[in-house]
Amino acid sequence: MDDIHLLKFYLKLRHRQREVLELVCAGLSNDEIGAGLYITSSGVAEHLTTIYAELGNEEAYADRRVNRAVLISAFAPFFARHPEMKQLQ
């Protein structure tokens, strides 16, 4: 996916899903994310499940199993190239 498609995907996410995605890309565990956002680690997992399903619906990822590693490989470089995206909260 190019940056335009990643941006469109990112903007479709709800606020909390964006936060979770950003923290996953920063290397935090579900427990660390949950503590930082004041939600349970199972709540983080639920957000991730939704993000995985949504990304799996994208044509570029339709033939791949979307997981944490896929999110990081797609979005960590995106956030590095576009640090201003984290301010869209």
Question: What average pLDDT does this structure show over 16-29?
Answer: 96
Q: Is residue 18 part of a domain?
A: yes
Model confidence, pTM: 0.94
**Residue 89 in this model has a pLDDT that exceeds 70:** no
**Residue 87 in this model has a pLDDT that exceeds 80:** no
Return the CATH number at 64: 1.10.10.10
Q: Which two tokens stand for residue 56?
A: 């799996």
Q: Is residue 88 part of a domain?
A: no
As a whole number of angstroms, the distance between CA 3 and CA 82 comes to 9
Q: Which two tokens stand for residue 55?
A: 């990304």
Nearest to 55 by CA among 37, 79, 75, 40: 75
- Provide the mean pLDDT of the chain: 94
Domain count, the chain: 1
Q: Look at residue 85 in the predicted model and tell me its pLDDT.
A: 83
Question: What average pLDDT does this structure show over 40-53?
Answer: 97
Q: How many CB atoms lie within 10 A of CB 17?
A: 17
